Amino acid sequence: MTELHAPEKKPTDAPASSLRDWRIDFFRGLAIVFILWNHSAENVLSWFTTRHYGLSDSAELFVFLSGYAMATMFLAKFLVRPVTALPYAVMRAFTLYIHHITAFIVIATLASTYRGWAGSSVMERDLFIRPFFVATETVMPKLATLAYLPPLLDILPLYILLTLLIGVLFFLFRERWIYYVAFAIPVWALAWFTGLNFSSYPDTRLWSLNPLSWQAVFLAGFCVCLMRDEPWLRRVSASPVTLAVSVAILVVGFIGAAPWAQLGLSDWRVSWLPGWFDKMYASPVRLIHFLAMAHVATALIKKDNPLRDTIFARSMILIGRRSLPLFVICTVFAAASYAVFEWFGRSYLVQILYEGGMALVLVGLAYVANTVGEATRGKPKSAAARAPVQSGAADAPELAARHA
């Protein structure tokens, strides 16, 4: 994993483009597509994600890479004056908050419209939107304070709190990665061993991604970026023994996930064992599995891998660069799938057409946003076309802030 960046030692004034490479945006874009397929009503395309083949899924990928990307931007912009990370974190969190509220309003509008048109409350029921309509005066303040989190709307609130947290921690710790580790592990352990979590409406519900636990995943990505040039880490990550261990973890994870159980064959899925595979509390088994998968992926896909020159890679890179708005849009698409599959049926053809079509829409929107962005910055079109495959990063520092 340490190969994600060129070995430059703790840059204080380097542009963010020198810290990022195309693989960060590529995997972030891929994670958004995976989130769309995994969080839609159950569909066949979810089998093309990592969800069924191991002990972690796209949530770890997205949160870890968000932490990694945040570190690249903070190192480029705030290392000399870390105090400026605090107001940035507040402004960024407010932007995330606006996107979260907007996503809820759009999904609630779709649910209400579908009920009036089709006479079905499937979206309101399955996405827990109905309480907003029947107890608006009670639910509205809870929505505004992130105490009402319907399904599909749990990642952005988590990211809001993590953004505020990292603003404070970077002001205190700067690039000293060991301090982040010393913070993350005890806080995670507190939640893991005590069950401490935030409540959600109604009070019997809890946050499905506990911020006290998932900060460890986010800070793991943040720390890997800070540690990427540590000689000992580079030696460990490049060791054939370490790679063999990572592969072994993936093999064990595949056997433990037992994807063939969905076909009615022997079912010994270890994820059914209580506690150790709990997603809400960021199980250490899930994190270890994800880190092994990330290690193998970075070992197989080098910075100069020809994959980056393909249309597929360029598309994922552009989605990754516009991760926030496209994540919100993919959430809306996932919510709409409940109505689409009820109205048109759940045949494989319908599932593939809708889920594949919405993925293509995300790609199209990413290309449009990139073209508009390049035009407003006055860049030649040819340069815009080459950017995703040459550097995988945009002009710093302003675009880097948009990815964090």
Give the model confidence (pLDDT) of 108-117 as tens digits: 999 999 999 9
- Give the number of other Cβ atoms within 10 Å of residue 130's Cβ: 18
In this prediction, residue 399 has a pLDDT band, given cuts at 50, 70 and 90, of very low
Q: What does the pLDDT look like over 297-313, one tens digit per residue?
A: 999 999 889 999 999 99
pLDDT at site 185 = 97
pLDDT at site 10 = 43
And the tokens for 327?
A: 């994540």
Q: What does the pLDDT look like over 195-249, one tens digit per residue?
A: 999 999 987 789 999 999 999 999 999 999 999 889 999 999 999 999 999 999 9
And the tokens for 251?
A: 């093999």
Helix, strand or coil for residue 274?
Answer: coil
Q: What is the mean pLDDT of the chain?
A: 86
And the tokens for 15?
A: 């542009």
In this prediction, residue 347 has a pLDDT band, given cuts at 50, 70 and 90, of very high
pLDDT at site 203 = 74
Q: Residue 109, Cα to own-chain centre: how many angstroms? A: 25
Place of tokens 């089709």: 118
pLDDT at site 268 = 61
Give CA–CA dist 404/395, Å, rounded: 14
Q: What angle do CA 29, 31, 36 make, to 5 degrees?
A: 100
Is the pLDDT at 1 greater than 80? The verdict is no
Is the pLDDT at 388 greater than 70? The verdict is no
Is the pLDDT at 187 greater than 50? The verdict is yes
Residues 337 and 38: beta-carbon distance below 8 Å = no
pLDDT at site 379 = 54
Helix, strand or coil for residue 200?
Answer: strand
Q: What does the pLDDT look like over 360-370, one tens digit per residue?
A: 999 999 999 99
pLDDT at site 260 = 78
Cis ω for the linkage preceding 240 (within 30 of 0)? no
State the number of CA atoms in the 13 A half-sphere of 102 facing the CB.
12
% pLDDT > 70, the chain? 85
% pLDDT > 90, the chain? 73
CA dist 346 → 14, 40, 41 (Å): 51, 12, 9
CA dist 310 → 26, 306, 383, 404 (Å): 11, 7, 17, 25
Expressed in angstroms, the distance from the first to the final Cα of the chain is 19
Long-range contacts of 178-184 (CB under 8 A, 24+ apart): 180/219, 180/222, 180/223, 180/226, 181/219, 181/223, 183/219, 184/215, 184/216, 184/219, 184/220, 184/223
Is the pLDDT at 6 greater than 70? The verdict is no
pLDDT at site 164 = 97
pLDDT at site 261 = 72
Q: What are the start-end ranges of the H helices in 147-283?
A: 155-173, 177-194, 211-227, 231-238, 240-257
Residues 374 and 384: beta-carbon distance below 8 Å = yes
Phi and psi torsions of 206, nearest 5°: -125, 165
Using only the alpha carbons of the chain, give its radius of gyration.
21
pLDDT at site 244 = 97
Tell me the DSSP string of 203-218. Answer: TTEE-SS-HHHHHHHH
Q: What does the pLDDT look like over 103-145, one tens digit per residue?
A: 999 999 999 999 999 999 999 999 999 999 999 999 999 999 9
Cis ω for the linkage preceding 211 (within 30 of 0)? no
DSSP state of 18: G
Is the pLDDT at 78 greater than 60? The verdict is yes
Give CA–CA dist 18/395, Å, rounded: 9
State the number of CA atoms in the 13 A half-sphere of 33 facing the CB.
31
pLDDT at site 7 = 40
pLDDT at site 396 = 36
Is the pLDDT at 259 greater than 60? The verdict is yes
pLDDT at site 106 = 97
Residues 69 and 58: beta-carbon distance below 8 Å = no
